[in-house]
Chains A and B, each alone.
Chain A
Amino acid sequence: MKWSNRQFGDLDFDPDHVVEFSSGMIGFEQYKRFIIVHDEDSEPFRWLVSIESKDLNFPMLDPGLLLPGYSEGTVGAEKEVWVIAALHANVEKSTVNLRSPVVIDRKTRAAQQLILDDDSLPFQFPLVAAKSKGGN
């Protein structure tokens, strides 16, 4: 199937790969259906791209790249986990949201954005500081 996004233009996608949020993303509840776009220039980031609004997309990152063990510690290994990235051209201002990850069922592609019940996980975790913590 085809979808046209403002930033990516025309995108081809397999309907089986559509990720469905029954409650939407927090603050964007009206949009339920997304695809994950792997943009070579954005590597290792991926894009969660709405197929209901051509202006809606979120960059995200596999948290395992920053903090090994994060996913297992928060939602268990059976689900695919992503953290939303608020990026700036100045990478030092860029953060990822460890407190409200997106979790996706590997089989059904049913998805949800959680708010984890753990005060130690920040909503704004600096991407660059992740280097020292993630490298331990």
Chain B
Amino acid sequence: MLVLTRKIDEEIKIGEQIVVRVLAIKDGQIKLGIAAPRSISVFRGELYAEAQRQNEAASRVERSAVAEAAATLSGLNVAGTEPKS
């Protein structure tokens, strides 16, 4: 891991297309500005990990479980079939 020290308004350039700028530091929080091409996804690390967990869980779902969930849902009348009250 590369460790760098930066001050407010200073930047870090990653490759040719990504720039990270320190915008503000206050009460133990750092505000960063990140400029990157649209094709590069930028996520908060803990949110990425949570999304990954949910995707992994979904990727393990068997067709039979979906059929069962679908049947239960239609029994509960959840999936948009409910008449508007």
Across-interface contacts of B48 in A (CB, < 8 A): 26, 115
Count contacts on B: residues with CB < 8 A to the other chain.
Answer: 36
Q: Determine if B54 and A97 form an interchain contact, defined as CB atoms under 8 angstroms apart.
A: yes
- Smallest beta-carbon distance A123→chain B, Å: 5
Is there a chain B Cβ closer than 8 Å to A64's Cβ? yes
Is there a chain B Cβ closer than 8 Å to A3's Cβ? no
Interface of A (DSSP majority class): loop
**Count of A-B contacts judged by CB separation below 8 Å:** 127
Known A-B contacts A91-B68, A131-B78; A97 and B51 likewise in contact (beta carbons under 8 Å):
yes
Is there a chain B Cβ closer than 8 Å to A71's Cβ? no
Q: Which residues of B contact A (CB under 8 A)?
A: 39-41, 43-44, 47-48, 50-59, 61-70, 72-73, 76-80, 82, 85
Q: Which residues of A contact B (CB under 8 A)?
A: 7-8, 22-23, 25-28, 39, 41-45, 47, 56-62, 64-66, 84-89, 91, 94-95, 97, 99-100, 112-113, 115, 123-124, 127-128, 130-131, 134-135
